[in-house]
């Protein structure tokens, strides 16, 4: 929700977007200690690019869901939100691995979480980190 100054055009759109991301991370059970300011700003920048002139709010919420899946792993995601949500997020993750493109929004998010060492063990096991690409380990 925009603040008073944002309403009149004096606030920071970036600050508001970061607040949206922080709330989405909280909603997705991601401890903020896992996501430092550098990660937040990178995700915001990529969301701005992905939103193509629109507001990045939904893109940031989708990013938070993917971050959550990467940090928590499939089993913890299923325990928190059920098998359906876990399967949806796993399918999104698997699509990135199958695609093989390293520069998509989702691929960047996954690589960022992996690079920071915050990914769950089952997520790390599925990605080939040696080549620094998102090729499936098979």
Q: How crowded is the C-beta side of 72, counted as CA atoms within 13 Å? A: 25
What is the rounded average pLDDT for all residues in the chain? 85
Tens digit of each residue's pLDDT (9 = 90 or more) over 38-91: 999 999 999 988 877 667 889 999 999 999 999 999 999 999 999 999 999 999
Tell whether the model's pLDDT for residue 3 goes beyond 60.
no
Widest pairwise Cα distance in the chain: 52
Q: How crowded is the C-beta side of 119, counted as CA atoms within 13 Å? A: 19
pLDDT at residue 105 in the model: 93
């Amino acid at each position: 929700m925009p603040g008073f100054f944002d309403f009149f055009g004096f606030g920071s759109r970036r600050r508001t977007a970061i607040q949206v991301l922080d709330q989405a991370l909280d909603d997705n059970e991601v401890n903020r200690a896992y996501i430092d300011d550098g990660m937040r700003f990178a995700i915001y920048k990529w969301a701005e690019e992905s939103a193509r002139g629109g507001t990045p709010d939904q893109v940031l919420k989708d990013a938070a869901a993917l971050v959550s899946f990467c940090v928590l792993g499939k089993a913890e995601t299923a325990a928190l939100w059920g098998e359906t949500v876990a399967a949806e997020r796993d399918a999104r993750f698997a699509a990135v691995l199958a695609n093989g493109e390293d520069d998509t929004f989702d691929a960047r998010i996954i690589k960022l979480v992996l690079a920071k060492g915050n990914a769950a063990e089952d997520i790390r096991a599925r990605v080939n980190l040696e080549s620094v690409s998102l090729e499936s380990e098979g």
